[in-house]
């Protein structure tokens, strides 16, 4: 599904252009991070937020009012947000489709560690063969596989560490008849570390962690902590962390370089997340105008 592309936060043209500045988040990705932080988690997805409140918060991370309004409209048209008018005010809430994507992201951010110390030696293999004309289906499948931790071992054979329950995703895409899934262990003749290097771009994955850690450690070192704007700081923090981990399949730690940078980067993220949680929540309570989400 195209939905999972919306969790790739940087603008593709500027994401890695200047590592010292970090990725440049897209308005739609920041919007979803906002709803994930303050609607999904705080209100279990059952709230709508006044557009003026959204404009205020996203303005704190550099998104202008017109960009916010146009992003809201696009996300309504894509089935990611729903509108509700209350008097002269317009409120926006999550659709079930967006909630599903955000809960998936929530699991990746808060429940799964960035380092896989518990790998049991198994792999999930997925083979597919699609007609040449099925470009959209191929793109959707590859997007979902990447999000689920798979890498392309060969053009039509993808692999992920551990036992990954991917059958539901394949069924949702309507591709069950074109896909075969296996769970297996590698033969002793297989050089797993070489296979990993051939299948995933470890340098690119590592660079994301290094960039994140450098940027946010500098903030901690400056004594800024949550800063004067904890809600904006936390919004950017979570957005950038999701971008950082998005293409990391959580490869087994014992087959990665000893200085793999995911561990220190995650420690930095969790420390800052703890620092910003309470002040950002307090600011949200004071700032956000919300109403209950009523079903039409």
pLDDT at 30 > cutoff 70:
yes
Residue 209 clears pLDDT 80, i.e. is over it: yes
| Residue 9: band (very low, low, confident or very high) from pLDDT cuts 50, 70, 90 | very low
Q: How far apart are CA 126 and CA 162, in angstroms?
A: 13
pLDDT in tens, 214-240: 999 987 766 665 667 899 999 999 999
Provide the b/e sequence for 157-167 (b: ≥16 CB within 10 Å): ebbbbbebebe
**Any idea which of 12-26, 106-120, 249-263 has the lowest mean pLDDT?**
12-26
Q: Which H, E and C letters describe the chain, residue by residue?
A: CHHHHHHCCECCCCCCCCHHHCCCECHHHHHHHHHHHHHHHHHCCCEEEEHHHHHHHHHCCCCCHHHHHHHHHHHHHCCCEEEEEECCEEEEEECHHHHHHHHHHHHHHHHCCCCECCCCCEEEEEEECCCCCCHHHHHHHHHHHHHCCCEEEECCEEEEECCCCCHHHHHHCCCHHHEEEEEEECCCCCCHHHHHHHHCCHHHHHHHHHHHHHHHHHHHHCCCCCCCCHHHHHHHHHHHHHHHHCCCCCCEHHHCCCCCCHHHHHHHHHHHHHHHHHHHHHHHHHHCCEEECCCC
Task: Please tell me the least confidently modeled range out of 41-45, 188-192, 193-197.
Answer: 41-45
21 has a pLDDT exceeding 70: no
Say which range, 97-106, 175-184, 187-196, has the weakest mean pLDDT.
Answer: 97-106
Yes or no: say if 91 and 83 are a contact pair by the CB < 8 Å rule.
Answer: yes
State pTM to two decimals. Answer: 0.84
Look at residue 261 in the predicted model and tell me its pLDDT. 97
Q: Return the higher-pLDDT residue of 39 and 225.
A: 39
Across 58-63, average pLDDT: 94
pLDDT band for position 23 (cuts 50, 70, 90): low
């Amino acid at each position: 599904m195209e939905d999972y592309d919306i969790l790739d936060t940087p603008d593709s043209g500027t994401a890695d252009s200047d590592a010292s500045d970090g990725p440049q988040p897209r308005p739609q990705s920041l919007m979803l991070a906002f709803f994930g932080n303050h609607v999904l988690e705080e209100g279990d997805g059952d709230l709508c937020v006044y557009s003026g409140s959204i404009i205020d918060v996203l303005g704190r991370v550099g998104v202008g009012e017109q960009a916010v309004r146009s992003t809201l409209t696009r996300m309504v048209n894509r089935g990611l947000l729903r509108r509700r008018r209350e008097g002269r005010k317009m409120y926006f809430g999550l659709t079930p489709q967006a909630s599903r994507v955000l809960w998936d992201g929530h699991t990746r951010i808060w429940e799964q560690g960035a380092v896989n110390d518990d790998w049991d030696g198994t792999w999930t293999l997925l083979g597919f063969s699609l007609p040449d004309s099925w470009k959209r289906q191929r793109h959707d499948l590859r997007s979902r596989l990447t999000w689920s931790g798979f890498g392309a071992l060969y053009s039509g054979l993808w692999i992920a560490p551990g036992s990954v329950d991917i059958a539901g995703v394949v069924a949702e895409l309507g591709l069950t008849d074109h896909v075969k899934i296996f769970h297996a262990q590698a033969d002793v003749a297989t050089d797993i570390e070489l296979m990993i290097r051939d299948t995933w771009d470890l340098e690119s994955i590592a660079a994301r962690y290094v960039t994140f850690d450098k940027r946010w450690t500098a903030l901690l070192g400056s004594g800024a902590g949550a800063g004067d704007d904890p809600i904006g700081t936390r919004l950017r923090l979570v957005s950038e962390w999701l971008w950082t981990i998005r293409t990391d399949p959580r490869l087994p730690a014992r087959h990665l370089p000893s200085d793999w940078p995911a561990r220190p980067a995650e420690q930095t993220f969790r420390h800052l997340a703890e620092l910003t949680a309470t002040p950002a929540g307090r600011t949200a309570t004071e700032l956000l105008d919300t109403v209950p989400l009523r079903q039409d």
